Amino acid sequence: MESQVRGGTRWKRFAVVMVPSVAATAAIGVALAQGALAASFSVSGQQFKVSADSLEGDGFSQYGALDSGYTLDGKKTTHPVAVSAFKSATIKGLCQSVVTPNIPVLGSVSLILHAGGGEKPVEADNLYIDLDDLSADATFTNIDIGVAAGSASKGPGIKSGDTANPNGFAQQAEHASLVGVKQTAWATTAGTFKLSGLKMSVSAGTHECY
């Protein structure tokens, strides 16, 4: 009986924390789907997975930076990342997932988001993706490799607040076309992020985009 009471108490505590978060996330998701908000996705010290059928981006640049955050147990952490930046982008078949482990009673809990799966793609401008792993079939138009990050002019520039060396290595292109995208990221930021056909779910267990 004591074990059941403790389990129930943990579930109630989890619900108190989780339900408002899910409600807020859903409300933000609706606003994003209507193009009403700027967007910033980061998961305090956690990686998340992003996949897409295709990404077409104008004004591309990529440079190195350091992301800072906190782990789930409150410890500060820093990660080296490659920042992929686009002045504008359209994305088809977008999936984004994050798994939070060690939730009392439930174990792992997954949040997964799909958008741009129909006729209308996801649309974004001033899009920055902080990633440490990427696979795709990529084609770049008028690419410059080995430019200084601070002088790259084809993309949107170094993101405000990034810990990046303006004299460090960067590359840029007028257009980037990526197919079969799979990446792990620490943060995604956009001036606007319109998620057409948004579908979002939260469920127990480990469920990821790939």
Higher pLDDT, 68 or 94: 94
Which of 130, 124, 94, 122 lies closest to 192 in space, CA to CA?
A: 124
Domain that holds residue 184: 2-204
pLDDT 10s digits, 89-136: 999 999 999 888 888 888 898 989 999 999 999 999 999 999 999 999
| Res 10 pLDDT > 70 | no
In a domain, 209, yes or no: no
State the total domains in the chain.
1
| Res 188 pLDDT > 60 | yes
Residue 29 near residue 195, CB atoms below 8 Å: yes
In a domain, 109, yes or no: yes
Residue 114 near residue 53, CB atoms below 8 Å: no
In a domain, 26, yes or no: yes
Q: Give strand ranges (E) for the chain.
A: 39-42, 48-70, 76-92, 94-103, 107-115, 122-148, 169-190, 192-194, 199-204
In a domain, 67, yes or no: yes
pLDDT 10s digits, 190-209: 998 899 999 999 899 999 99
Map residue 192 onto helix, strand or coil.
strand
CA 5 to chain CA mean position, Å: 38
